[in-house]
Structure 1
Amino acid sequence: MDRNSPTEEKANGSKSPTRNGDIKRPHYDRTDTAASGWATDNEDEKPKEPQQSDYDKKKQTFITRAVWTFVMIAIFFGSMFAGHIYVIIIVTAVQIISFKEVIAIANVPSRARSLRFTKTLNWYFLGSTMYFLYGESVIYYFKHIVLIDRVLLPFATHHRFISFMLYVMGFVFFVTSLQKGHYRFQFTQFAWTHMALYLIVVQAHFIMNNIFEGMIWFFLPVSLVITNDIFAYVCGITFGRTQLIKLSPKKTVEGFVGAWICTILIGGGITNILMRYKYFICPVNDLGANVFTGLQCEPNPVFIAHTYTIPFIPPTYTFLPTTITVSPMQFHILFMATFASLIAPFGGFFASGLKRTFNIKDFGDSIPGHGGMTDRMDCQFIMGFFAFMYYQSFIAVYKASIGSVIETAITGLSAEEQMEVVKGLTKHLYNQGAVGAKVPEFLNDNLVNLLARR
């Protein structure tokens, strides 16, 4: 029997090429095929896309990274010189983007789609937290504006209760949205959201307060972290030999220590320049101010130079100076630069461990060539938090302000007592020659009539 007969082909499980005859199927070479699986007549005419070499890829990545580095520098300095309100907007945008990136790495899209309110709750908790933190800052720094406004006064005096009720509403909504079979995922998202709020939003709030206290308390921490990061890289590739931590294999002990020394030196130089300008050292009293209009205030004593006696210089060593004239801020910058060099990098190590946990390279792609916003801000958040705590503990000068006096009078005195305060202040101003005699008389007559009507 012929090996290619239809009968044998059917016995072997193959189909006959035709119903009426034993026609051999022509042989096709399928080694080079088109997308359909078969060779085409014009296949050789199609130009093949050239493969990009590793050198070209690295070159393109370097160019993209360099361009966006200059863009970020321009935005940073542009907003800082334009005024405090623009820096606040930048910080707000940074914390929202960072929150979004951190939340996204633990999200499971398939489950998030089946649970309608998962993302909604994440953003609700972000909004309620920002309402509480921003409200605290506005009330603290602008009491003299908020507390005298009839519309804003109820929100200011009951701000914390309103914030608490907003959070409770979200908590109740979360509990009522729990679905059987998704408990673990939903509680994981709940815990992950709160961790992101603490690590990002809460710490960014203290950076915001640093801006209100003076631009220098925002610019110095940021510049110290950037300086340390640059010189850690430079010193590491120059003479780095010993690995520092396994979470970041490229970090070396030599680069770590070298960056510390360089950060202290450069931090001292930057501080010496910024102290000369009131725009940087004055607290915010006008959100419309910019680098051209400037700010006016009585400088904090920490920026005023003092003469110190060097205790360890023997009096017989006349060729050595026994005193030194320097502002106390130069001593404070030593501690801030040390924290930026030895502690703040652990924020980056924490972020590296987090990325390894989820097996991702970057938190996102918000900044072309640089990865996500969180990748650039991992050390900045903890540094800004430290700067606020250090400033409040060792540098801030606490004295009565217009806002604090108004707050005390509004919240602690009755209407009649507040009127007596006004009369007393007016009389004092008259005795000092600040107002004429008609002002106390006018206020006294009108306040008496007002009390009589009550």
Structure 2
Amino acid sequence: MAKSHRGVKFPHRKGSGTNEGRRSSFSDISEAASEPVSPLKDAKDKLLDPAPAESSEYEKKKQTFITRSIWTFVMIGAFFASMFMGHIYIIAIVTAVQIISFKEVIAIANVPSRARKLRFTKALNWYWLATTMYFLYGESVIYYFKHIVLVDKVLLPFATHHRFISFVLYTIGFVFFVASLQAGQYRFQFTQFAWTHMALYLIVVQAHFIMNNVFEGMIWFFLPVSLVIFNDIFAYLCGITFGRTQLIKLSPKKTVEGFVGAWVLTVVFGVGITNLLMRYKYFICPVNDLGANIFTGLECTPNPVFIPHLYSLPIWFPYFKTVAMAPMQGHILVFATFASLIAPFGGFFASGLKRTFNIKDFGDSIPGHGGITDRMDCQFIMGFFAYMYFHSFIALNKATLGSVIETVITGLTPEEQMELVKGISKHLVNQGVITEGVLDCLNVIVQRR
């Protein structure tokens, strides 16, 4: 009589008592095959001796805590090391976060597409990611480095026609998607199309504004990131200390007391860290040298928002008639409030998304912490807010060297550009910046031309 193998159980299959969809190792399968366990015997062993099960659970939690703690310090150390090494390293980290987060979110939808044997779905996702990043990064480089890009013979065509090139690239992907539609799969494929574009907007586009914050000055990157991190820590501490009332059903452990307590503490933290960062030009100066670091520093004329002003106090302050305060100390109250009351809803949104697909984490990129997206769910909307707020209320509205060069190159004929050069040269001679001999040499060159 042939032996039956129906007694072999695979821990990764549904109904086996472990997380559905998790793959078991070959050692787990071989153990299950070689030592089949009777459910009655297993239950009897647990009733007679529950200590091993409790000890195993304790060891598991202990190991998870140790792993989580180690990787927390690794991430904090890498973050500060990159920030002190220079802006280019932070930009590299933001780029990596964009790509990995997009990969984690798209992976949720790629599983059914493979099951349906749909071709080109994964390739199209990466193509749209590359096209979107080409457009966004090109916009940033052209905006912040016009004085370099527009005077380069090779880069000039790409700079002046950047948006049209980006549109053509996207259109190619759009046409390819329509051509790849298969009968009987239309609804599913259009759902994938919408899912991909949602990921591009919520992750790639918002993370791009975080990168722009780096170009405006390290403080506009560091403050939003640190406010969200410390607000999360304060919410946890306040919640376990005196939390009683549930805040939202999407996150059962969040409490109203922790939410409000974290708001107050985040405001205090924000005021303190801002007072410290404003003292260093490395943090408050826009990027004019991508090779700069914490040791070389940056030089610039500080934005007036960082310069203390005297403010008259109301009449009910008899002992202090005026107070010296930088406007940034008022703006930080808005930043801290948004980080405390609005940014957490990015996390709630991510929680709802994970519940929809019945997953615990978006991935396992960070041991003990889940995926990159799990750690960045609040950072994306916070970075977007910081960019919009800075350009609405803080940025200086004045002409830059890059904008002037762009106007000259795109708005004047070559003859007019030469007249402008001669006019600027004559002005510099009158100001004593250059000698009159330079102007004479320029006139000779122009005449020979």
Cα offset, 1:175, TM superposition: 0.3
One-letter amino acid of the structure 2 residue matched with residue 337 of structure 1: A
Q: Hey, what does 2:321 align to over in structure 1?
A: 322
> Partner of 2:149 in structure 1?
146
Whether 1:252 and 2:273 are equivalent positions in the alignment is: no
Q: Which residue does the alignment assign to 1:354?
A: 353
The alpha carbon displacement at 1:68 in A equals: 0.3
Do 2:309 and 2:324's aligned partners in 1 also have CA atoms closer than 8 Å? Answer: yes
1:235 matched to 2:234: no
Aligned partner letter, 1:388: Y
Check if 1:60 corresponds to 2:63: yes
What is the DSSP-based 3-state SS (H/G/I as helix, E as strand, rest coil) of the residue aligned with 2:34? coil
C-alpha displacement of 1:110:
5.9
The C-alpha deviation readout for 1:308-339, integer Å capped at 9, x for no partner, is 0112x24xx63x31211110000000000000
Matched, 1:367 2:361: no
- Given that residues 126 and 197 in structure 1 are in contact (C-alpha distance below 8 angstroms), is that contact kept between their aligned partners in structure 2? yes
SS of 1:284 mapped into structure 2: coil
What amino acid is aligned across from residue 382 of structure 2 in structure 1? M
Report what 1:386 is aligned to: 385
Measured after TM superposition, the shift of residue 184 of structure 1 is 1.8
User: Does 2:126 match 1:127?
Assistant: no
Cα distance in 2 for partners of 1:108, 1:368 equals 22
Residues 91-240 of structure 1: pairs in structure 2 closer than 5 A: 91-109=94-112, 111=114, 114-240=117-243
User: CA RMSD of the aligned region, Å?
Assistant: 1.8
Matches of 1:163 and 1:156 in 2, distance apart? Answer: 11
Q: Identify the structure with the greater helix proportion.
A: 2
SS at 1:107 equivalent: helix
- 2:273 maps to 270
Task: For 2:115 and 2:271, locate their aligned partners in 1 and report how far apart those are by CA, in whole Å.
Answer: 50
Deviation beyond 6 Å, 4+ runs, structure 1: none
- Whichever of the two has the greater Rg, that structure is 1
1:63-82 aligned at under 5 Å gives the runs 63-82=66-85
SS at structure 1 position matched to 2:194? helix
Shift of residue 67, structure 1, vs aligned partner: 0.5
Match of 2:7 in 1: none
Letter in 2 for 1:361: K
Matches within 5 A, 1:404-415: 404-415=403-414
Structure 1: 5+ residue runs without aligned partners?
A: 1-13, 16-32, 39-49
- For residues 187 and 34 of structure 1, the distance between their equivalents in structure 2, rounded to whole angstroms, comes to 43
Q: CA deviation at 1:111?
A: 3.3
Where structure 2 has 5 or more consecutive residues not aligned to the other structure, the ranges are 3-31, 38-51
Q: What is residue 298 of structure 1 aligned with on the other side?
A: 301
The TM-score normalised by the length of structure 2 is 0.88
Distance apart, 1:106 and its partner CA: 2.2
> Matches of 1:367 and 1:179 in 2, distance apart?
37
SS of the equivalent of 1:359 reads: coil
* Structure 1 residues 37 and 232, CA gap change in structure 2 (3 angstroms): closer
Q: What secondary structure sits across from 2:110 in the alignment? A: coil
Q: Give the whole-Å Cα distance in 2 for the aligned partners of 1:321 and 1:148.
A: 55
For 2:441, the equivalent position in structure 1 comes to 442
In the TM superposition, what are the counterparts of 1:36-51 in structure 2 within 5 Å? none
1:90 aligns to 2:90 (yes or no): no
SS of the residue 1:296 aligns to: coil
* Alpha-carbon distance in 1 for matches of 2:436, 2:306: 41
Partner of 2:26: none
Alpha-carbon displacement from aligned partner over 1:56-80 (angstroms, at most 9, x marks no partner): 0110000000000011001100110
Specify the alignment match of 1:397 in structure 2.
Answer: 396
Does structure 2 conserve the Cα–Cα contact (< 8 Å) formed by 1:282 and 1:295? yes
Q: What is the aligned length?
A: 405
Shift of 1:234: 0.1
Instruction: Answer yes or no: is the 8 Å Cα contact 2:305–2:326 preserved in 1.
Output: yes
Residues 410-451 of structure 1, C-alpha deviations (whole Å, 9 max, x = no match): 00000000000000000000001111111111101111221x
Would you say 1:429 and 2:428 are equivalent positions? Answer: yes
Q: For residue 186 of structure 2, what is the amino acid of its counterpart? A: Y
Report the Cα distance in structure 2 between the residues aligned to 1:165 and 1:34, rounded to whole angstroms: 56
Deviations 1:167-204 (A, max 9, x none): 00000000001111221221111100000000000001
SS in structure 1 at match of 2:94: helix
SS at match of 1:55: helix
Residue 371 of structure 1, CA deviation = 0.5
Alignment CA distance shift 1:349-1:432 (3 Å):
same
Whichever residue aligns with residue 239 of structure 2, its letter is G
Correspondence 1:279-294 to 2 at 5 A:
279-294=282-297
CA shift, 1:37, in A, is 7.7
Structure 1 residue 228: deviation in Å? 0.3
The letter for the 2-side match of 1:406 is I
Mapped partners of 1:188, 1:108: distance in 2:
14
Deviation of 1:400 after TM superposition, in Å, equals: 1.2
1:112, distance to aligned residue in structure 2 (A): 5.6
Cα deviation, 1:320-359, whole Å, max 9, x if unaligned, reads 3121111000000000000000000000000000001011
Distance 1:113 1:398 in 2: 53
User: Contact conserved, 2:65 with 2:368, CA < 8 A, in 1?
Assistant: yes
Amino acid in structure 1 at the alignment position of 2:101: S
> What is the Cα deviation at residue 116 of structure 1?
2.0
Quick one: which amino acid aligns to residue 150 of structure 2? L
Question: Which letter maps to 2:394?
Answer: I
